[in-house]
Amino acid sequence: MGGVVIEPIKNKIETLKKERKAVILVHNYQLPEVQDIADFLGDSLELSQRAAETDAEVIVFCGVHFMAETAAILSPGKTVLLPDVNAGCPMADMIDAEQLRQLKREHPNATVICYVNSSAEVKAESDYCCTSSNGVKVVESLKDDEEIIFVPDKYLGDYIAQKTGRKMVLWNGYCPTHVHIREGDIASAKTQHPDAITMAHPECPRPIRDMADVVLSTSGMCRYAKNSDAQKFIIATEPGIIHRLKKENPGKRFYAASEAGVCPNMKLTTMEKVLWSLEKMEHKVEVSAEVRSRALKAVENMIGITV
């Protein structure tokens, strides 16, 4: 999208944003032009927390549905809008509240940890939430003999189990985007860029993580790239983050481990849809008071451990 087209849309968004007292949250995997209109750019939970601290009346969440739900959980007095109603998360959809309740019946004494990449209803059935960056810390806070259910991402769960030495009951969910990154992709990228640091997301399967120099969340990757003396990086996660990495690290080079690792849901939001969302005040994402109160407790339990 050329600058001639973008500028009028940007200007309209800025005008409407002021009128609506809105804040625009953008996840690291979004399209470059959407990232460039962000008030806050980052990981999903980090964005929701920052929005909750503002006096904005409207939150426009450029991400996927569970992220907008999390914003609604943390900001019950604000209107939360998702610019594209079809922007979902296949991994979050791999478990629902009833499936988790059944798993809890099978393991009645287990503590339930859910990855933040899950629906509000699943959060409400959980004891703790966690992120890809603090999951290890949450598990380490529990008693050694405590049985743990971890949902929905078996690869993040495997990473946490690997780091903590804890056995966990893992749900058979995964991120389709990260499993598209194959060992051959990493090997090929390393051959092409032998002096590059390989950074992989914990949602990647273990063979990919084992080939990486560091395993980090998206915000962790941004911090690492900024602080590292290395000049070249292979990125084993959704390549949308490379736009931010390049902007924050001029002169350093970033290479996607695989072009197959693109999340189609993360690419649904466009600048036009952000504009229409503000114009029409759609699509509102709401969480019932009953679900919100229980889901909030799981989030707060996590924050109590990790702050």
What are the pLDDT digits (tens) for 250-305? Answer: 999 999 999 899 999 999 999 999 999 999 999 999 999 999 999 999 999 999 98
Q: What is the pLDDT of residue 5?
A: 63
Q: Give 132's Cβ-side CA count (13 Å radius).
A: 21
Q: What is the pLDDT of residue 7?
A: 86
Compute the radius of gyration of the chain from its Cα atoms: 19
Q: What is the pLDDT of residue 4?
A: 45
What are the pLDDT digits (tens) for 146-185? Answer: 999 999 999 999 999 999 999 999 999 999 999 999 999 9
Instruction: Select from 103, 51, 100, 112 the least CA-distant residue to 301.
Output: 112
Strand partners, 58: 22, 79
Burial 218-237 (b: 16+ CB within 10 A, else e): bbbbbebbeeeeeeebbbbb
The residue assigned the tokens 């946490």 is 160
The CATH number corresponding to 181-260 among 3.40.50.720, 3.40.630.10, 3.40.50.10800, 3.40.50.300 equals 3.40.50.10800
Q: What's the helix, strand, coil split of the chain in %, to 5?
A: 45, 15, 35
Domains 3-90+266-286 and 181-260 share a fold: yes
What whole-number distance in Å separates Cα of residue 158 and Cα of residue 151? 11
- Rounded to an integer, the average pLDDT of 36-40 is 97
Domain 3-90+266-286 classification at class level: alpha beta
The share of the chain scoring above pLDDT 70, in percent, equals 98
Instruction: Select from 268, 266, 265, 264 the least CA-distant residue to 276.
Output: 268
What are the pLDDT digits (tens) for 16-29? Answer: 999 999 999 999 99
Whole-prediction pTM: 0.94
Q: For the domain 92-174+290-306, what is the CATH superfamily, name and number?
A: NadA-like (3.40.50.10800)
What are the pLDDT digits (tens) for 208-218? Answer: 999 999 999 99
Domain definitions of the chain by residue range: 3-90+266-286, 92-174+290-306, 181-260
Q: What is the pLDDT of residue 6?
A: 77
What whole-number distance in Å separates Cα of residue 239 and Cα of residue 34? 14
Instruction: Find all residues with CB under 8 Å of 104, minimum gap 6, and list them.
Output: 110, 112, 125, 149
